[in-house]
Amino acid sequence: MTKAKGYAVHFTAYQRTEMGEKEEEGKRKLEFQRFCHNLPATGTTLITIDLVDHYTRSRPVALRIVEAAPGEERGTVTETRTLAELPEKNYRAGLLETQVDFNKRGLYAAVLTIGGEELSIPIRVGIEEEASLARRLLPIIFGILILAALGYAFYRFRSTSGEKEKMKAKEEKSEGKDKD
């Protein structure tokens, strides 16, 4: 769900799964997987945008899918080419659909023009997000904590069982002295 400039829209992209096509009772069945802003691979992609609120549905809306490059200022992008375009009109059902062929990895954007205002939805194609240092170290830290807890439990078990043996030996000695 993207909320900006008073508009609420839901962006979804569908790409074929790695299984691709599946034979089912002599018919070819295509299987698609749903994604949000990060698409794992290049290729033909079905883009759908749901106009969530009635106000947005009552306004003229246009859609462009563009390739983007980082802009000169931090946080800005520059459009390098247009891959798909839907004309400006009222989408009373609230659904915009287009098919796009992302032929190379990179940054793209779905640019909605709603009543003259532009709303940009970022799309990353074939770019894996780099995990932060903390996220990469988290499994190692948990492993060390678990080993430390197990080591402490083992130490406590050994020290308690050793003390119990000493207590038994003292009791046996004292019982032996009492019998004499």
At 132 the pLDDT is 65
Tens digits of residue pLDDT in 79-121: 888 999 999 998 888 899 999 999 998 889 888 898 888 888 8
User: Which amino acid, 83?
Assistant: L
Stronger pLDDT, 146 or 1, i.e. the higher one? 146
* H or E element, residue 155: helix 133-179
Q: Cα separation of 65 and 85, whole Å?
A: 6
Phi, psi of 134, rounded to the nearest 5 degrees: -60, -40
Tens digits of residue pLDDT in 112-151: 898 888 888 888 888 776 656 677 778 888 888 899 989 8
Tens digits of residue pLDDT in 17-66: 655 455 555 555 667 777 887 888 888 899 999 988 888 888 899 999 99
User: Which amino acid, 176?
Assistant: G
pLDDT at 170 over 80: no
At 63 the pLDDT is 93
What separation, in Å, do the N-terminal and C-terminal C-alpha atoms of the chain show?
Answer: 87
At 21 the pLDDT is 52
- Tell me the whole-structure pTM to 2 decimals: 0.60
